[in-house]
C-alpha cells in the first residue's frame, strides 16, 4: 500500500506553481523567488520538484534560500498555509542520503564512486566533506566509514533547518483539482501503480517521452528534471519544468491551472 506520508496532496489550490531542478544555483533561485513572490496568488500551491543539490556552486546557499522563501510566503496568513509549500526528493537528494548511510552499503567504494560521478561531489564539498577521505574510509572498513558519515551528518546539522528539510522531502505530489495532476522529480514507470513506483521517480526519466496517454487518473504528469537536458517541454499529458539549470540553462518555474494548463512561466 502507498505510504501516505510520502505523497503530498494538494487540496483546493486555484493554481500550482512548480519549480524545476536548481542544482546548487542559489543566486538564480533567489532571483526566481523575487520574480515569483508578487505573482503568487492567494492559496496558490508551490511545489519544488527536487534536485536542489549537486553540480552547482552554492549548495548550502540553495537550501538556505529555499527555507528563507518558505518563511516569507508563510508570513502572510491567511493567504497560505504550510501544506501549500511542498518539496519533493530528487535524484540528487536521494544520492546524498545514500552517501550519508554509506556504512550500510554492501559495496561502499562502488556506491561512493557512482554518486560522486553524478554530481554529488558538489554537495559533499559544500558540507565540508572530502572525496579522498571518503574513499579511504570506504576502503578502511565499517568503523572508519561510520565515523566519516557521522562527521558529514554533524556538518549538515550545524546549519539550522537543513536536517529537517532533508527529512521532510516528499516522493511525489498529487492535486485534487479538475484535472488531477501528478508532480514527480524525473519520471515514472507507467507499468506500475503510483503506490509501487519505488525509485522510478528518480531513475525512469529517459522513458518519460514515451508517455502518450494519461497515467492512471491523472490528466498530466509534471516533472522537474530531464536527464537529457532538452529544456522546458509539454505534451498533451506531460510537462517537463527543467530549463537546464546547473548545466548552462535557466532555472524554470511554471504555473498550472486546476485543469493542468500552463498559465504562467518564469525563466531565470
The model carries a pTM of 0.95
The Cα–Cα gap between 161 and 203 comes to 28
Residue pair 250/28 in contact by the 8 Å Cβ criterion: yes
Residue-wise pLDDT tens for the chain (268 aa)? 345 569 999 988 999 999 999 999 999 999 999 999 999 988 899 999 999 999 999 999 999 999 999 999 888 765 566 778 999 999 999 999 999 999 999 999 999 999 999 999 999 999 999 999 999 999 999 999 999 999 999 999 999 999 999 999 999 999 986 679 999 999 999 999 998 998 999 999 999 999 999 999 999 999 999 999 999 999 999 999 999 999 999 999 999 998 899 999 999 9
Quick one: 221 and 142 in the same domain? Answer: no
Domain stops at, among 127, 157, 187? 157
Quick one: 250 and 187 in the same domain? Answer: yes
The Cα–Cα gap between 67 and 192 comes to 33
Q: Which domain holds residue 128?
A: 96-157
Quick one: 174 and 261 in the same domain? Answer: yes
Parallel, antiparallel or unpaired: strands 238-240 and 233-234: antiparallel
Grid cell 497560505 — which residue? 80
Given CA atoms 103, 205, 200, 83 in this order, what sign does their dihedral have? Answer: positive
Rg for the chain, CA atoms, rounded: 18
Quick one: 69 and 104 in the same domain? Answer: no
Quick one: 256 and 234 in the same domain? Answer: yes
The Cα–Cα gap between 182 and 194 comes to 10
User: What pLDDT sits at residue 177?
Assistant: 66
User: What pLDDT sits at residue 80?
Assistant: 62
Quick one: 189 and 259 in the same domain? Answer: yes
CATH number, position 256: 3.60.21.10
Residues 6+ apart with CB under 8 A from 34: none
Number of domains in the chain: 2
Residue 5, domain member (yes or no): no
Quick one: 64 and 180 in the same domain? Answer: yes
Residue 164, domain member (yes or no): no
User: What pLDDT sits at residue 42?
Assistant: 83
- Supply φ then ψ for residue 261, to 5 degrees: -80, 145
Quick one: 178 and 201 in the same domain? Answer: yes
Residue pair 47/20 in contact by the 8 Å Cβ criterion: no
Question: Residue 177 is placed in which grid cell?
Answer: 483539482
Quick one: 24 and 153 in the same domain? Answer: no
Quick one: 189 and 85 in the same domain? Answer: yes
Amino acid at each position: 500500500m502507498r505510504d501516505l506520508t510520502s505523497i503530498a496532496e494538494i487540496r483546493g489550490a486555484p493554481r500550482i506553481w512548480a519549480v524545476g531542478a536548481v542544482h546548487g544555483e542559489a543566486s538564480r533561485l533567489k532571483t526566481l523567488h523575487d520574480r515569483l513572490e508578487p505573482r503568487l496568488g492567494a492559496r496558490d500551491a508551490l511545489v519544488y520538484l527536487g534536485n536542489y543539490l549537486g553540480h552547482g556552486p552554492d549548495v548550502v546557499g540553495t537550501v538556505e534560500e529555499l527555507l528563507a522563501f518558505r518563511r516569507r510566503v508563510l508570513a502572510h496568513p491567511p493567504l497560505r498555509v504550510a501544506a501549500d509549500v511542498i518539496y519533493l526528493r530528487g535524484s540528487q537528494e536521494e544520492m546524498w542520503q545514500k552517501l550519508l548511510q554509506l556504512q550500510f552499503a554492501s559495496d561502499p567504494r562502488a556506491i561512493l564512486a557512482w554518486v560522486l560521478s553524478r554530481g554529488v561531489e558538489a554537495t559533499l564539498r559544500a558540507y565540508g566533506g572530502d572525496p579522498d577521505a571518503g574513499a579511504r574510509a570506504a576502503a578502511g572498513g565499517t568503523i572508519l566509514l561510520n565515523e566519516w558519515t557521522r562527521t558529514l551528518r554533524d556538518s549538515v546539522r550545524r546549519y539550522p533547518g537543513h536536517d529537517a528539510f532533508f527529512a521532510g522531502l516528499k516522493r511525489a505530489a498529487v492535486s485534487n483539482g479538475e484535472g488531477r495532476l501528478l508532480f514527480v522529480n524525473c519520471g515514472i514507470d507507467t507499468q506500475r501503480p503510483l503506490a509501487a513506483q519505488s525509485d522510478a521517480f528518480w531513475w525512469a526519466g529517459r522513458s518519460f517521452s514515451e508517455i502518450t496517454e494519461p497515467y492512471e487518473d491523472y490528466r498530466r504528469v509534471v516533472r522537474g528534471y530531464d536527464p537529457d537536458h532538452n529544456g522546458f517541454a509539454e505534451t498533451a499529458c506531460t510537462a517537463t519544468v527543467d530549463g537546464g539549470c546547473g548545466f548552462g540553462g535557466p532555472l524554470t518555474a511554471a504555473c498550472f491551472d486546476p485543469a493542468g494548463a500552463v498559465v504562467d512561466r518564469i525563466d531565470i
